Chains A and B, each alone.
Chain A
Amino acid sequence: MSVGSLPDERRGLVGAAFQSKSFALGFALTALFILAALLSFLWTPYDATALAVADKLKSPSSLHWFGTDHFGRDIFSMIMVGARTSIAVAFVAVGIGIAAGVPLGLWAAAKQGSLVDEVIMRANDLVFAFPALLIAILITAVFGPSAINAIIAIGIFNIPVFARLARGAALTLWTREYIFAARVAGKGAVRISAEHILPNIMNLLIVQGTIQFSLGILADAALSYVGLGAQPPTPSWGRMLSDAQTMISLAPHMALFPGAAIVLTVLGLNLMGDGLRDIFDPKLRRSRS
């Protein structure tokens, strides 16, 4: 965290972003895992689902960088393919939250104090009251364990997060003069929300999206750890850890590498989120750090 060095106007936002060490580190970590996930479509050192029992429980070596699991599958390859699953689940779940939450929040703000506002906000409170993981477990238990149901379960909990954020930010904007000017010009609430409010709350949405992305990765890991996420043979980080659990004294590397992958991805996203927040709001940076 570079205190005191305000973003240089001439370099613009991107330059300023990489001035921040936490953003740069976070971006590098996140990019690493997204690249690994993309690369896994084209190439992995081994077939991530191929069983090779003769090679089971091998420690890390030059042949198998992260070792092999109890079926002889290459852990490095599984982590690459697993990144794909984790990132996809978390990304779509955030997408659901934004796609449903932001319009709801904007609608509530446009009709502040009305019945619509009240209903939307109370429904949000209700979703917030449920421990997310528990309801995700309930949903996957009822509709069957699968990556799709994990996405829906995690996505539902992103809706109130974005609705609340959008509403709060939009409410302050509605009192601004340029919004008043737009109203005088005859624009309706929908057009004002889309043309004037949404672009102005984009920063907040991006920061929150990054944070929710990292929470989504953690939630997906927990769900697939208890067997309610992506189903075998699709490799997933959480499932790799539950496989590793019974083997922990024989092959600790089975637990170490997938866990480290989760930690580094989540850490990367969190650092990136924090960095972005500081960049978008230099005032906050000075008061916080």
Chain B
Amino acid sequence: MAPYLLKRLISLVLSLLAASVVIFLVLQVVPGDPASYMLGMNAQPETVEALRQQMGLNEPLVWRYLTWVGGLTHGDFGVSYTYKVPTGELIAQRLWVSLPLALYALLLSTLIALPIGILSAAKRNSAADYGIMGVTQLGIAVPNFWFAMLLVLLFSITLRWFSAGGFPGWNAGVFVALKALTLPAVALALPQASILARVMRSSLLDTLSEDYIRTARAKGLTRGQTLVRHAVRNAMIPVLTIIGLQFSFLLAGAIIIENVFYLPGLGRLVFQGITQRDLIVVQSVVMLLVFAVIVITFLVDIAYAIADPRLRSRAR
């Protein structure tokens, strides 16, 4: 286990370094000077120069990169050009919307997908199986933001069960806040659940054809017992990997969905940052999300290796 862990740790650090260099460099080629952007059209050249000096924009590229990365390691993302407050604070506020939304969606997606996938595999080639496969095939093709609009049309405008958008904040009470996140979470969750259900089904079908399943049946277990005690447990390993990966998709997908529901999350922050050319905000949010994705992938890999020892020796 130790050599595998070490190898994965090194590649984790390298990925993070490479990602930070790419994100840093991409934003260096942006035309326009942030300092003059902050001060507006009529600023004196000396004032702009002073601000450039203060923001460290006159330092060499490598030095600026190192300062940025150094700041990141203790949560200092730099100061937002437009809000003039630390970007870290902005992100922390918005994270209180995006993170619960992604977790809520992940929970829904898992709760829906696993039973459906198991049912589909257990009743293979039945009407239920064909129905589930058909619906999930459709679910994969639906863009989540369009699905979100359909949900608004049905549940907010026609039935008036949910508000069409906005977020009252966690201070308004957990139930009220969760209710505001429900439609966005469903919109995010269902397309992902379609993928997850199909993965669950094919993984379980693979497991069901293994020899130890036949052995379990031969020693007298019923079909249901075999399914629960042996098949599902083993089939869960690849499914867990996908769940891990889906969390990062959901976090990134939240960026789009937040726009449909006017939620004050990271997504709104990014798009405001883009229109106001507040690139330090864009850079920080993207870095944070990429960081989250890389770390989650790493954790999933480790969990996988713990669950399935065969993988450690096979690892490149």
Contact = CB atoms under 8 A, between A and B. Distances in A.
Contacts of A88: none
Interface stretch (B35-43, B56-64, B134-142, B211-219): B134-142
A226 B141 contact: no
Interface stretch (B45-53, B104-112, B254-262, B303-311): B254-262
Interface string A231-275: 000000000010011001100100100010011101100110000
B311 to A, nearest CB: 16
A150 B215 CA distance: 53
A157 interface: no
Nearest to A227: B271
A125 B297 CA distance: 11
Contacts of A133: 252-253, 255-256
A134 B286 contact: yes
Q: Secondary structure at chain A's binding surface: helix, strand, loop or mixed?
A: helix
B85 interface: no
B19 A126 contact: yes
A267 B133 CA distance: 13
Interface residues of B, number: 49
Given A142-B27, A218-B143, A267 B137 contact: yes
Greatest chain B CB density within 10 A among A3, A131, A139 is at A131
Interface in B1-39: 11, 14-15, 18-19, 22-23, 26-27, 29-30
Contacts of B253: 133
A225 B255 contact: no
A141 B26 CA distance: 10
Interface of A: 3, 122, 125-126, 129-131, 133-135, 137-139, 141-142, 214, 218, 221-222, 225-226, 241, 244-245, 248-249, 252, 255, 259, 262-264, 266-267, 270-271, 287-289
Interface of B: 11, 14-15, 18-19, 22-23, 26-27, 29-30, 125, 137-138, 140-143, 145-146, 149-150, 152-153, 157, 202, 205, 209, 248-249, 251-253, 255-256, 259-260, 270-271, 273-274, 279, 282, 286, 289-290, 293-294, 297
